Amino acid sequence: MKFWMRLLTAAALMLGVGLSTAQAADPLPATVKFDLDKSAISPEGEAALKAVADFLKATPAAKVLVSGFTDTSGTAPHNDALAKDRAFAVRDVLMKGGVAEDRIMMVKPEERMKAGNPEEARSVSLTLLASSAAVAAPSEAKKEDAPAPPKIDKGDVAFMYVATIMVILMTIPGLALFYGGLVRSKNMLSVLMQVFVVFSLITVLWVIYGYTLAFGGAGTFYGGFDKLFLSGITAESAAATFSKGVYIPELIFVAFQCTFAAITCALIVGAYAERMKFSAVLLFMVIWFTFSYIPMAHMVWYWDGPDAIKDQATLDAVVANAGWLWGKGALDFAGGTVVHVNAGVAGLVAAYVLGKRIGYGKESMAPHSLTLTMVGAALLWVGWFGFNAGSNLEANGIAAFAFVNTLLATAAAVLSWALVEWMVKGKPSMLGAASGAVAGLVAITPACGFVGIVGALVIGLLAGAVCFWGVTGLKKMLGADDALDVFGVHGVGGALGALLTGVFAAPSLGGAGICNYITNKCGDPADFPGIGAQVWIQFQGVLTAIVLSAIVTFVALMIVKAITGLRVAEEEEREGLDTTYHGESAYKF
């Protein structure tokens, strides 16, 4: 037996892959060497990487860090590109050997420049990472050394169940009733139907491919395809939170994020209410969800989790694997850009493309039931605690901060909207108070877990006043028939909240700052990039959402127009969509 162990070790060393003589079954750490100025892997190198792949497949808790070093044979850009090609070549061989992409953590070549020894420079290193405990080779591991299962607290699980149910409540019936009360009675059921069916449609699409593309692996704009139809996710699967060593069941994370996707798509319904074909609504939602919502969710929220960060090298790897905006440092606690700016811009573009409702500006289009709108707004406010506090993924003090900030900012926005409306129009209205509540909820969404109490109060007060202008002065300037003010409230409020997050997240202004997972400290002023720098990062997030959503919405509507048409016939619009499209009416008189 000792003879074969020595023989295997010697062969591995000849191939440029170092194996521990104490444990030949573990092929990591390893080094793959390349010919000068070449990125092709030799047959010997492929055989060595196959051993690494076999080890990783047999050790589910392990990940591998792949770091490419620059060659010394050309210019700096050439050397960087060559290093990247070599690292990707190693990754491709590992994936071909059956290793999931999210278990291969890449380090950007330009962040791992190597000067000096040319032999050392012509190599790609592979280092073992353990996701929850030190990993021993399965053939050698003793039962007592097996990796500990992820820590899942029943309190966190119960908290996430309640939060998920509350977000469902926000949409059906909350958003449906809020929108339904704002339209004319002849279109009440059509709005309820659109919200209800869109929620159902997105839920199905989320399970089929939405979750895997948003959270199924590393990538700049999309994840991977490893979790199509939730493949590989079991009752034992765990999802990371924002604390090291703390996890929740991945299935509840799937459900929670599903509700976010569903309500985001349903929000757009309010912009083109009373005039879009039902078939067009559904087809548009499929396209928009796939090409606008999913990439925004991935860019802002995907990362490998805190346990993947041990030092600067692993932090670099996490940043390289993360979504584009997460890697830049964008802060969006619960969806200011992903949900509200994204949906608000889509609503504005849809309103332009569909055109104004028949009689808009000439006939009365007053809400038919402000009672239902107030009930819907109240359900939204209650459900939003699950939306915001639940986004912390743990029942702890940060969730409590998000809860209180949501309560305070919303109340402040109700008061500021009512006061501004009172001053401008002479009377405060119930519609204004309900709209102010939604404006405050929208604006505090990206900030709720990052800002202090005073920051939440200021954001709420500003949201009420700014969004009032958004649905009056700005709406008139834009000239679009955004029927239920999706852009004026969600687009404007979401952008305002996202930008102000960069201001009030600063520890100097009472904010929570950011977490440093190398030092394992949160809120250290030294880790915060500064208000100006953070606002600039936030602005990039807002701009990305605006551009992506606008382009995807316009293209999607053109596709739908060519396939099904967009607008209902004039006589159908005049009669109302309840009877012409659904064969029933909300009320019997």
Residue 133 belongs to domain with CATH number: 3.30.1330.60
Question: Do both 413 and 521 map to the same domain?
Answer: yes
Q: What is the pLDDT at residue 239?
A: 95
Mean pLDDT, to the nearest integer, of 249-272?
98
Mean pLDDT within 42-68: 78
Same domain, 262 and 300: yes
Strand 123-130 and strand 515-516: the pairing is: unpaired
Query: How many other CB atoms sit within 10 Å of the CB of residue 177?
Result: 25
**In this structure, is residue 515 part of a structural domain?**
yes
Q: Which residues contact 170 (CB under 8 A, 6 or more apart)?
A: 259, 263, 379, 380, 383, 384, 386, 387
pLDDT the model gives residue 131: 44
Q: Based on the structure, what is the number of domains in the chain?
A: 2
Q: What is the pLDDT of residue 401?
A: 94
Do 131 and 178 lie in a common domain? Answer: no
Residues 335 and 478 in one domain: yes
In this predicted structure, what is the pLDDT of residue 72?
A: 59
Whether 430 is covered by a domain: the verdict is yes
Sheet with 238-240, side-by-side order of all strands: 151-152, 246-249, 238-240
184 and 104 assigned to the same domain = no
Q: Which of 145, 167, 196 marks a domain boundary?
A: 145
Residue position matching structure tokens 């519609």: 431
> Is the residue at 126 inside a domain?
yes
* Weakest-pLDDT range from 79-93, 335-349, 417-431, 505-519: 79-93
- Tell me, yes or no, whether 136 and 192 share the same domain: no
Q: Is residue 121 part of a domain?
A: yes
**Phi, psi for residue 7 in degrees, rounded to 5:** -65, -45
pLDDT digits (tens, 9 = 90+) for 102-147: 788 776 554 444 444 555 566 776 666 554 333 444 444 444 444 5
pLDDT band for position 53 (cuts 50, 70, 90): confident
**Residue 317 to residue 106: CA distance in whole angstroms:** 5
The predicted model gives 146-156 an average pLDDT of 77
CB 411 within 8 A of CB 460: yes
Domain CATH for 161: 1.10.3430.10
Q: Are strands 104-107 and 62-68 parallel, antiparallel or unpaired?
A: parallel
Which pLDDT belongs to residue 260? 98
Question: 198 and 97 in one domain?
Answer: no
- Tokens 């834009």 belong to 478
The whole-number pLDDT of residue 137 equals: 41
Tens-digit pLDDT profile for residues 518-546: 999 999 999 999 999 999 999 999 999 99
Whether 176 contacts 264, CB under 8 Å: no
> Taking 80 as the threshold, does the pLDDT of residue 211 lie above it?
yes
Last residue within a domain, chosen from 145, 171, 189: 145
User: Do both 463 and 538 map to the same domain?
Assistant: yes
Parent domain of 52: 2-145
Q: Does residue 589 fall inside a structural domain?
A: no
H helix or E strand, kind and range, residue 238: strand 238-240
Domain co-membership, 138 together with 164: no
Check residues 134 and 560 and name the one with the higher pLDDT.
560
CB 128, CB 59: distance < 8 Å: no
Q: At what angle do helices 154-169 and 370-389 cross, to 10 degrees?
A: 150
Q: Does a structural domain hold residue 587?
A: no
Q: In terms of Cα–Cα distance, which of 154, 499, 468, 516 is closest to 315?
A: 516
| Number of C-beta neighbours around residue 211 at 10 A | 26
Residues 508/525, Cβ–Cβ less than 8 Å: yes
pLDDT of residue 116: 46
Name the token pair of 368: 């038919």
Identify which has the larger pLDDT, 159 or 104: 159
Cα–Cα distance measured from residue 196 to residue 134, given in angstroms and rounded to the nearest whole number: 47
* 285 shares a domain with 163: yes
218 and 331 in a common domain? yes
Looking at the structure, tell me whether residues 202 and 76 fall in a common domain: no
